[in-house]
């Protein structure tokens, strides 16, 4: 019997949602329906779905997040018709040092996850609020937490530990890594696309508004660029990436920035946006670089940091067999990929210009020292698939837990 799985990805001001309907073969890669609520904490919230254009949304100003979730619940009820919802999958950014694999949420698990809010204050609270709200609405409906940090639990200690006093390691201050759901999807996709080549020395470049790299061997994480927080590693759209901590001390000691103000600089007013003064979007910046020196510098640093970190990860893996670009910029911006690979020419990277322009699955030329590819990510599907496996839906009849549209 078919099951519906609702996938939720909750941010500070938006919620992405998707429905997957299982079949005899499990969870299809293509979602049945989905959408997004935007601007939840702003003056003009909106929503759109795969069947409707963007429209204004009236939310309760006293509890806008709860109100947005109720709106999503009502849309799900309408969309499911006579079908039944069997489980909900949540993207939870941080599982700390305790949770790696997806887990069915209980009161004890939820209490644990709240203790990790200081590790991801910009993301963790909103997923937990969604879980809380849905537990109140449907206490018998299985809810599953899928962790963005979980994929990196295979990192060796030398990659996890930070060069701080040992007590920080004991207190959980270490490299956790992020974008794990994207990398988890790559385990499926790259094996299907490239076969045993993917089990070798693979580097995946998840380049979106947030960005990171992951070095894999045998499709397991052995090194990654994001660390204790989502500020490390690559320069991003609005985030610094790796930064001399002395610059932060300067902001706070000399410029007298508060902790909150310094956080805003690091998370929201740096990266491409901060240097260019124009935008955090490479598609906006590229046409402007010839006439704007700040834009040119921003893009040059952005590309340089990606190339440098790929080369650094190649040191860990002792070479590269497969380099894959994914996420918004990685999947769609041929110019950025070209520039990164030009900087990696000394390693033997060679592109096929036509394949690169077409965002083809393989964009390397025949004389490239390693295969270079483009692979769309699908974090929503991997969350639905892991939930399907964990809850055991293939062996369960569809429950009558959530009312159908007619019953509602």
Residues counted in the chain? 408
Q: For the chain, how long is the longest CA-to-CA vector?
A: 65
Tell me if 272 sits within 8 A of 302, measured CB to CB. Answer: yes
Residue 189: name the closest of 25, 332, 377, 370 by CA. Answer: 377
Residue 373: name the closest of 155, 195, 181, 179 by CA. Answer: 195
Q: Which two tokens stand for residue 242?
A: 């790796």
Tell me if 213 sits within 8 A of 203, measured CB to CB. Answer: yes
Number of helices (H), then strands (E), belonging to the chain: the values are 15, 13
CA distance 341 to 287: 20
DSSP string of 33-93? EEEEEE-TTSSS-EEEETTEEEEE----TTSHHHHHHHHHHHHHHHHHTT--EEEEEEEES
Positions marked active-site: 148
Q: Which residue has the tokens 């004890």?
A: 108
Alpha helices in 173-258 (DSSP H): 180-194, 245-253
Residue 211: name the closest of 189, 243, 233 by CA. Answer: 233
Cβ contacts of residue 101 below 8 Å, gap of 6+?
150, 390
CA distance 320 to 92: 31
């Amino acid at each position: 019997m078919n099951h519906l799985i609702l996938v939720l990805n909750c941010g500070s001001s938006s919620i992405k949602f998707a429905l997957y309907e299982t079949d005899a073969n499990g969870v299809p890669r293509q979602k049945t329906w989905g959408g997004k609520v935007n601007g939840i904490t702003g003056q003009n919230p909106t929503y759109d779905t795969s069947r409707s254009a963007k429209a204004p949304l009236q939310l309760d100003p006293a509890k806008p997040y709860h109100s947005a979730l109720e709106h999503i619940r009502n849309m799900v009820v309408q969309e499911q018709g006579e079908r039944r919802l069997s489980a909900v999958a949540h993207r939870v950014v941080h599982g700390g040092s305790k949770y790696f694999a997806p887990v069915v949420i209980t009161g004890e698990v939820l209490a644990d996850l709240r203790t990790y809010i200081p590790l991801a204050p910009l993301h963790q609270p909103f997923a937990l609020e969604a879980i809380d709200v849905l537990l109140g609405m449907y206490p018998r409906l299985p809810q599953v937490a899928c962790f963005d940090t979980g994929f990196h639990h295979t990192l060796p200690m030398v990659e996890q530990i930070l060069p701080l006093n040992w007590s920080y390691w004991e207190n959980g201050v270490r490299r956790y890594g992020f974008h794990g759901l994207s990398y988890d999807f790559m385990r499926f996709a790259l094996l299907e696309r490239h076969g045993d080549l993917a089990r070798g020395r693979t580097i995946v470049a998840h380049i979106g508004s947030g960005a990171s790299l992951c070095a894999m061997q045998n499709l397991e994480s052995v090194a990654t660029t994001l660390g204790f927080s989502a500020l490390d590693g690559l320069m991003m759209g609005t985030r610094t990436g790796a930064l001399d901590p002395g610059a932060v001390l300067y902001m706070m000691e000399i410029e007298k920035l508060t902790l909150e103000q310094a956080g805003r600089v690091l998370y929201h007013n740096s990266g491409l946006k901060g240097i260019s003064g124009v935008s955090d979007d490479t598609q906006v910046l590229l046409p402007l670089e010839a006439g704007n020196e700040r834009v040119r510098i921003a893009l040059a640093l952005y590309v340089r940091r990606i190339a440098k970190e790929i080369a650094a990860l190649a040191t860990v893996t002792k070479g590269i067999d497969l380099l894959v670009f994914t996420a918004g910029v990685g999947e769609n911006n041929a110019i950025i990929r070209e520039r990164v690979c030009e900087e990696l020419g000394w390693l033997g990277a060679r592109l096929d210009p036509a394949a690169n322009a077409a965002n083809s699955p393989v964009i390397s030329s025949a004389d490239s020292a390693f295969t270079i590819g483009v692979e769309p990510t699908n974090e929503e599907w991997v969350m639905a698939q892991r939930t399907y496996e964990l809850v055991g839906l293939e062996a369960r009849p569809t429950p009558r837990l959530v009312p159908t549209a007619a019953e509602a």
